[in-house]
Structure formats: C-alpha cells, structure tokens
Amino acid sequence: MHAIFSASRDAPVPTNLQGLWNTLLSPWWNCDYHNDINVQMNYWMVETANLPESFAPFLQWTKVLAESGQHSALGTFGVENGWSVGLNGNIFGFAAQNPHGRRLQQGSHWLAQHLFEHYAFNQDRAYLEESYPILKGAAEFFLEHLAPWRDGSLVVYPTWSPDNYFLIEEYGKLNKQSWGASYDQQLLVNLFTDCIEASLILDRDAEFRQTLREFIPQLAAQKINDKGHIQEWPDDWDGYEVDHRHLSHMIALHPGRDFSPLATPELAEACATELKIRVGFGGWKAAWRAACWARLRNGDEALNYYNDLIVGERGSPNLLNGGTTFQIDANFGGGAALPELLLQSHLRSIDASADSIEEAVFVAYREDPTRAGHFVAVVPPDSLVDAPYILDLLPALPSAWAEGSVKGLRARGGFDVDLEWADSKLTEATIHATQTGSFRIYSGGQLSPVISLKKGQSKVWPEIN
C-alpha cells in the first residue's frame, strides 16, 4: 500500500513498469507502460485496498490517450469514431501500434475497464460525468471496428492473445495474429455493459445505448473445449503454449467480473481446469494467478502463489519481488490478491426477492441451448443500475488464516468493511456507508435481504437479536 501511494499520487501520469524504483539507465522495456496487463495490474489494488486517491493519475493519463488515440484509430484502422492504443505507452500519450504489427493492437477496452470500476466503488456522479466520454470513445471504436466471423458473430480483428502462439508445428512461434481472441470479446462485454449502465445513470445517449444492446449478443461466444478448458481463440487450435504466463482468456474471472463460481459455474470450472495446467510462479504472473484462485474461492492456492511472490525464493528482504527482471506490477498485483481472499463485491443482485445467490445474481453469460459449451453474452437489464452489490464475506479464507481481523477493506457500492473471524468462520462484520446505498451480504452460504444505509451509517453483521 505504501508503494502504490508513493508511486501514484499527484503527478498526472500513472506508475510504470518499475515505479519509482528503477535504478538503471537502460531498464527493462524502457520502464514504460505496457497496456496488455502491466499498467492495469498496477491499479488493481487501489480500490479494494482503499487507496482511491492513487487512481487520479491513471484517469488523467487516459484522458490524454483518449485524445491521441483518436489519431491511432483513424490512421491505423480507418475508424472515424473513438480511440485506440497499441501495446506500449509513455507519459506523452503515445498511442500508436508497434511497427511490426504484433502484440496488443487495440487496447482501449482494457484500460477503460478501470474507469467504471472506480465509479462502482465511489458512486460519485461527478466522476462518472468526467470519465464517461473516455468510456464511450473506447466503445465507439469497437462498434466500428468489429467484423463478422465465419459463423456470423462479431469479433475483433486483427488481434492476438497476449502473448501466446498457436499451430506451432505448421507456422512457428510467431504465429500469433488471429481474430476474436477470447480476452478481447470478454473485455467488450464488460465495456459495453459499463457504457449502458453509465448512460442510464447520466440519462444520455439513448441511441448509443441501444446500439450496444444490439451488439452484445452478437459478440463471439465464450467456449469450453472438449478438454474442459476455456478456449483462448474462437477456433480450438492446438500447438499453443499450455503453461503460458498470460491468463488473458480468463480476464472475465479477474480483474473482470463476469466469470464466477456463483454465477457461471461451468465457465469458472473451466478456468480452474486451465489454471491447474497453466502454473506460473514468480513476478506478475504469480500475482494474477493468486487473484484468479481467490475469485475461484480457493484461498490456499491463492496464498501459495502470494507467498512465493513475496517471501519465497523470488522475494527480496524488502519484500519487493525479485527475479531476473524487477517489475513493480508483481507487488501491486499481489497486493490486490489479498483483499480478494477476504472480501469480494463484484456480483450484483437483480432479484431482491431471491433467497439464494444463484437466483439473485446477474449472469453475464448463458449457455447457448443449441450449442453445448458455447456461452453467449447477456444484454444487461435497465434494472442493473439499481441492483445492489453483494458483499461476499471471507469468500476464499486460507486455512492458514483461521483467526484474524481486518479493517478498512473497500466494497463496491460505496462501503468500507471491517471483518473479524475465528475458527475460519466470520464472527463479526461492520459495514460503513461512505455513500447512501444498498447491499446484500453473502456469508456462510446464506444471502441476506437487501440492507440500506445512509451515508455515515454503519451496520453490524450478523445482527444481534
């Protein structure tokens, strides 16, 4: 927490690959911004760990990218509306693609994911007014850029799934460029849903909102192959690196919100099957795996990755992640995984009368009844705007943490949460409202009724009769 607050505070640029701790004249990757996981991972923890002030530089930087990225969208892709960025960035708003045409080629959807997330936590309408044009511009680019695949669904092209290859025997390790990489499609469902909700809250752009509604179900389906894995591409290609460091095709699990054991159990199980094979210790890849296992409600596996990251052989006496290359995103990503063990709040209750979380929760993907293993994105109802977030208490508590307490975790909807537990069970939670709002609690397999608080009020759970 001290590190992110030190590196991202009042300057109008976000923290980069090495943060403030670069000691080299020629650092790895020029100490720049990488838009295919690294700069995003730097900011995963600012919401859940309750350091929202550290988000301001990221917002100011994306404002610059949204302007320079309009030239990238038009000059590279011929897209007249919206903005796009390539893989690498810098403090001056560089947004162009790499000259070799490989790696991330349009990344505004990934950067924009953070913008509505910040609103989800702070519920600040003025902030949403400020960030909405950036969100809208990211969506506008893809509305114009998407192309039909051979089954008629819409996909991003050209793209590649960072940084994996496929069909290596036929074409070699540089065979990476494809269409419809799963991470692109998942991010677009996230982005389009965010834009719909933001436009409803702000009461504007009804035509744009309707267009997004029409596009969502046309996006290429997410697929589970016959091995039980999440497919990385719309075709089930062989010859890829099965233990690749990236987990891009599971971005809807974390940092996204749309894959969940509680809402989409088949997709979550496919992610778990993949993670058991795609083992990767050390650096940012371990941090991402820790967060994913936490979302899968497996605290022991998550803590195993975190411990290796910080106190294992790859750690350093000062707790900064070591290894052959130093990148601060590993520490920030690991820091983001810890709150996920104790509190998750990414799911929404759209049915206040439902007694079970499976019946209450908004489900972003449903299996196509005509095609087994194909999961099609769901258009969000207008009621999602008023759907309370579900505060999931101790969702992935590691067995090594049988007793403990924590104060000041942050939940979506505008709430701070204090927790105490013993014998691996919740003993008391106190929810403090930083904004007027409603929520539901999920604890011990039970879902509470909707609870409403005014700003400044607190609620102790479980209630004492």
The 3-class SS string of the chain reads CHHHHHHCCCCCCCCCCCCCCCCCCCCHHHHCEECCCHHHHCCCHHHHCCCHHHHHHHHHHHHHHHHHHHHHHHHHHCCCCCCCCCCEECCCCCCCCCCCCCCCCCCHHHHHHHHHHHHHHHCCHHHHHHHHHHHHHHHHHHHHHCEECCCCCEECCCECCCCCCCCHHHHCCCCCCECCCHHHHHHHHHHHHHHHHHHHHHCCCHHHHHHHHHHHHHECCEEECCCCCECCCCCCCCCCCCCCCCCHHHCCCCCCCCCCCCCCHHHHHHHHHHHHHCCCCCHHHHHHHHHHHHHCCCHHHHHHHHHHHHCCCCCCCCCCCCCCCCCCHHHHHHHHHHHHHHEECCCEECCCCCCCHHHHECCCEEECCCCCCEEEECCCCHHHHHCCEEEEECCCCCHHHCCEEEEEEEECCCEEEEEEEECCEEEEEEEEECCCEEEEEEECCEECCCEEECCCCEEEECCCC
Question: What are the structural domains, with CATH classification, of the chain?
Answer: 2-371+374-384 (1.50.10.10), 389-461 (2.60.40.1180)
pLDDT at 463: 76
| pLDDT (0 to 100) of residue 74 | 96
pLDDT in tens, the chain (465 residues): 677 878 888 888 899 888 877 778 888 878 889 888 889 999 999 999 999 999 999 999 999 999 999 999 999 999 999 999 998 889 899 999 877 666 677 899 999 999 999 999 999 999 999 999 999 999 999 999 999 999 999 999 888 888 777 788 787 877 777 889 999 999 999 999 999 999 999 999 999 999 999 999 999 999 999 999 999 988 888 767 777 888 999 999 999 999 999 999 999 999 999 999 998 888 889 999 999 999 999 999 999 999 988 877 666 777 777 666 778 888 899 999 999 999 999 999 999 999 999 999 999 999 999 999 999 999 999 999 999 999 999 999 999 999 999 999 999 999 999 999 999 999 999 999 999 999 999 999 999 999 999 999 999 999 765
What is the value of pTM for the model shown?
0.95
Q: In the prediction, which pLDDT does 160 show?
A: 82
The pLDDT, as a whole number, for residue 452 is: 98
pLDDT of residue 465: 57
The pLDDT of residue 324: 66
